[in-house]
Amino acid sequence: DVKVTQSSRYLVKRTGEKVFLECVQDMDHENMFWYRQDPGLGLRLIYFSYDVKMKEKGDIPEGYSVSREKKERFSLILESASTNQTSMYLCASSPKPDRPQHFGDGTRLSIL
Amino acid sequence: TQLLEQSPQFLSIQEGENLTVYCNSSSVFSSLQWYRQEPGEGPVLLVTVVTGGEVKKLKRLTFQFGDARKDSSLHITAAQPGDTGLYLCAGVGSGGGADGLTFGKGTHLIIQP
């Protein structure tokens, strides 16, 4: 089974901090994705990556950046955290863009 | 922009009842995926439907893809408390998923014992 592991289940940070969310997958998938999930808004795509060192903006990239230095690892960076970035963050991977995605269990991030 | 509308947004029924949830769009999708998400976990794939009119069954769950590939439904027979969760549909657009999947906002389902 594919395993997508997110580094933290819960995280509390302060406004203005630089925050790193890490995601690792163990199935050699080319594609990796970062979403945030908010009540009433569903899953919204922040960034995705089709290959090492490649990144594409999703629907809501503002205030975020990503890094993919190795195939198995995709990091989401909040450059200067703000309270409106409090959310559940989900990482996913897939072998091809049109194939089903395998999700991690999420990181619930609170920005105070 | 392709959108997927899911209905109802919330549904609470008694154990043993039947239910149907819907996933609708004005756009055509090359395939559609259904996921279930339980509290504290990420979404997990249930099924993928590819062909217009296709019907797939997963135990008590029946998934149908519309003939025009613009809509899909999930029917649960004799619902059980273990069916409780958030059901998400996600579509692959004509670009083959190049811009990622399009997710609906989900149906929150509660099955009461």
In this predicted model, what pLDDT tens digit does every residue of A24-77 receive, in sequence order?
Answer: 999 999 999 999 999 989 999 999 999 998 999 999 999 999 999 999 999 999
Higher pLDDT, B77 or B101: B77
**Signed CA dihedral, A109, B6, A101, A95: sign only:** negative
Contacts of A45 in chain B (CB under 8 A): 100
Mean local confidence (pLDDT), B39-65: 96
- How far, in Å, CA of B40 to CA of A26, rounded? 21
Task: Scan residues 18-57 of A and list those with Cβ closer than 8 Å to B.
Answer: 33, 40-43, 45, 48, 56
Residue B2 pLDDT class (50, 70, 90 cuts): confident
Q: What 3-state DSSP class applies to A84?
A: helix
What does the pLDDT read at residue B99?
A: 72
Two tokens, residue A35: 């979403």
The DSSP letter of residue A82 is -
Alpha helices in A33-85 (DSSP H): none
Specify the 3-state DSSP secondary structure of A18: coil
Structure confidence by residue, pLDDT tens digits, A11-34? 999 999 999 999 999 999 999 999
* Cβ-based contacts of B98 with chain A (< 8 Å): 97
**Quick one: pLDDT at residue A2?**
67
Q: How far is CA B56 from CA A72, A93, A105, B13, B46, in A?
A: 33, 24, 27, 23, 10
Which tokens in the block code for residue A53? Answer: 């060192």
A97 neighbourhood in chain B, CB within 8 Å = 92, 96-98, 100
Do the Cβ atoms of A33 and A91 come closer than 8 Å?
Answer: yes
Question: Residue B96: pLDDT above 80?
Answer: no
Distance CA A52, CA A41 (A): 30
Per-residue confidence (pLDDT) for residue B112, from 0 to 100: 96
Contacts of A92 in chain B (CB under 8 A): 42
Q: How far is A40 from chain B (nearest CA, A)?
A: 7
Q: Do B42 and A106 touch (CB under 8 A)?
A: yes
